[in-house]
């Protein structure tokens, strides 16, 4: 029942113009020995309407605006998988895992960029 409710909320939010803003306290970089925490607070804005889908990651040193190429929903894992491109046509992917509700998410970032190959953000919805 919980999964069905999450699916309905996600589908409803996608069909209407919606901006969701989340904040994070740190960025966790993936290393061969595990996760390394870096004190880099910031915000993530997910904007979706009928014609445009974007994800913006903002920190003190960076403002990354990404355009969604494709999106897949995996109901059993409460997960959304995004394939995105930036303004220079560099491709990356995001895996967004819903924790308990849409107010708490884990965002996993994957790319071929050396300095940002794989990291995780723990997101809390802003009021």
Report pLDDT digits (tens) over 62-95.
899 999 999 888 877 789 899 999 888 889 999 9
Provide the pLDDT confidence category of residue 12 given band limits of 50, 70 and 90.
low
- CATH code for the domain in which residue 64 is found: 2.40.128
Closest CA to 66 of 76, 57, 77, 75: 57
Provide the pLDDT confidence category of residue 14 given band limits of 50, 70 and 90.
very low
Number of domains, the chain: 1
- Within 8 A by CB and 6+ apart from 65, the residues are 54, 56, 86, 87
pLDDT given for residue 87 in this prediction: 86
What share of the chain has pLDDT > 90, as a percent? 55
pLDDT at 109 over 90: yes
Separation CA 126–CA 55 (nearest Å) = 15
pLDDT at 115 over 80: no
Q: pLDDT for 27-50, tens place per residue?
A: 999 888 999 999 999 999 999 888
Residue 48 lies in domain: 2-125
∠80-26-5 over CA atoms, to 5°?
Answer: 30
């Amino acid at each position: 029942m919980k999964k069905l409710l999450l699916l309905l909320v996600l589908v409803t939010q996608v069909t209407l113009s919606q901006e969701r803003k989340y904040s994070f306290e740190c960025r966790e970089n993936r290393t061969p020995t595990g996760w390394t925490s870096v004190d880099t607070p910031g915000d993530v804005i997910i904007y979706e309407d009928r014609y445009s889908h974007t994800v913006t990651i903002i920190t003190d040193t960076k403002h990354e605006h990404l355009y969604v190429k494709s999106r897949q929903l995996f109901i059993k894992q409460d997960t959304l998988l995004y394939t995105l491109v930036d303004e220079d046509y560099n491709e990356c992917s995001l895996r967004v895992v819903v924790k308990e509700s849409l107010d708490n998410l884990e965002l996993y970032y994957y790319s071929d960029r050396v300095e940002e190959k794989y990291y995780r953000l723990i997101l809390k919805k802003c009021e």
